[in-house]
Amino acid sequence: MLLGKHVACDAYDETKPLRVVTHAHADHMIGLQQSLRNCERVLMTKATRDLITAMMGQFSLTNGPVETLEYGKTMQLEEENLTFFPADHILGSAQVLVDDAEGTRIVYTGDFKIENTPILETDILVMEATYGNSSCRRAFKKDVKRTLISLVEKGLKQGAVYIFGYHGKLQEVMEILRDAGIKAPFLAPERVYNVSRVCEQHGMHISPLMLSDELNGKELLESNYPCVAFYHMNSQAKIGQDAFRICVSGWEFNLPQRQTGTREYTVALSDHSDYTELIQYVQRAKPKQVITDSYRDGHAEALAHEIRKNLAIPATALPKNQHSIQP
């Protein structure tokens, strides 16, 4: 996504001197090593920097001009300014505002949940469209956390509970369970463990947490002791096949939970806004033009159509690989 004259977001572009990483998910770090080699600056929040280091290794960001920017602080780029604002997605995720000398404002939301994301008034709004189809609505948002807690409590009565999700969402689940008073041991493999420690350093409530691959962790899992083991979604097909299992996924819209096996469930815990919330953001941002991001699997075309139809705001879904937005 190219914003104004200077900024490339979440991908490398040889024409832009500054690369922004909005958050530490893999699909937003594409071309990062190219950016580190060739850009004048690679910009992110401190939390995103720390998460990338935890996931990719301590030397992953040392071969380039990495800088961090706090929320609400502005960096001047000749005649343009760049400012980060929070996005309630994962720890460290940011919205990006670029404005120029004439006062034209371009906002790129990145991925976000609307609950704790400030809505920025703008001239041009570039937004995610993961759940941009009008069929992607949830009427049960307030029930999901309670459902998750109850399901984990049920599983702990039977022994170990395995939870599968993506980085960021797993740590959100940890904090939800700890805040609910669940004191069972938490276990995680090394990468999930390292990401969780970074989240703790930035204020999340997770501990105590142990490595699942160390002796104590292995003993707990092998004995089916009541504990909660957190694994990346990619491990779902090979870990804890006979155990009590929970997958946290945003692609559930009918019920807070769905039983998918004898002791296996999917819980509709999402780190993206649904269709209704995406429309709410547009209404409150009052843009003159909307661009829907078609990079990831989602519903950019459908969302642009709905914005034009229901809000009478010009809206376009970007073709893949054509993501340049200029005043």
Q: Are residues 281 and 200 in the same domain?
A: no
Mean pLDDT calculated for residue range 243-258: 94
Q: pLDDT (tens digit, 9 = 90+) per residue, 16-26?
A: 999 999 999 99
Same domain flag for 308 and 259: no
Same domain, 93 and 155: no
- Write out the residue range of the structural domain in which residue 287 sits: 2-135+272-325
Return the CATH number at 263: 3.40.50
Which tokens sit at 40? 């004048």
Q: Is residue 83's pLDDT more than 50?
A: yes
Which pLDDT tens digit goes with each residue over 123-180? 999 999 999 999 999 988 778 999 999 999 999 999 999 999 999 999 999 999 999 9
Which of 232, 252, 267 finishes a domain?
Answer: 267
Give residue 321's pLDDT.
Answer: 55
Give the other-Cβ count within 10 Å of 251's Cβ: 12
Total domain count for the chain? Answer: 2
Task: Say if residue 325's pLDDT is above 70.
Answer: no
- On whether both 207 and 106 belong to a single domain, the answer is no
Judgement on whether residues 168 and 101 belong to the same structural domain of the protein:
no
Residues 204 and 81 in one domain: no
Average pLDDT over residues 189-203: 97
Average pLDDT in the chain? 94
Higher-confidence residue of 71 and 327: namely 71
Q: Is 250 exposed, middle or buried (0-12, 13-18, 19+ CB in 10 A)?
A: buried
Q: Is 111:273 a contact under the CB 8 Å cutoff?
A: no
Nearest 5°: phi and psi at 184? Answer: -60, 150
Same domain, 114 and 194: no
Does residue 276 share a domain with residue 130?
A: yes
Instruction: Please report, for the domain that includes residue 50, its CATH number.
Output: 3.60.15.10
Mean of the pLDDT values across residues 281-288? 98
Task: Write down which residue in 267, 293, 310 finishes a domain.
Answer: 267
Joined tokens for residue 44: 């992110």
The domain boundary, picked from 241, 267, 293, lies at 267
Provide, rounded to the nearest whole percent, the portion of the chain with pLDDT above 70. 97
Best CA proximity match to 20, nearest among 255, 327, 323 = 323
User: Is residue 201 domain-shared with residue 105, that is, in the same domain?
Assistant: no
pLDDT reported for residue 327? 43
The whole-number pLDDT of residue 63 equals: 85
3-state secondary structure 30-41: CCHHHHHHHCCE
State the average pLDDT over residues 271-298. 92
Q: In the chain, pLDDT over 90 holds for what percent of residues?
A: 88
Do 21 and 116 share a domain, yes or no?
yes
- The reply to whether 202 and 114 lie within a common domain is no
Band (pLDDT 50/70/90 cuts) for residue 297 is: low
Examine the domain organization and report whether 279 and 309 are in the same domain.
Answer: yes
How does pLDDT run across 259-284, given as a tens digit for each residue?
999 999 999 999 999 999 999 999 99
The structure tokens listed for 237 are 């097909």
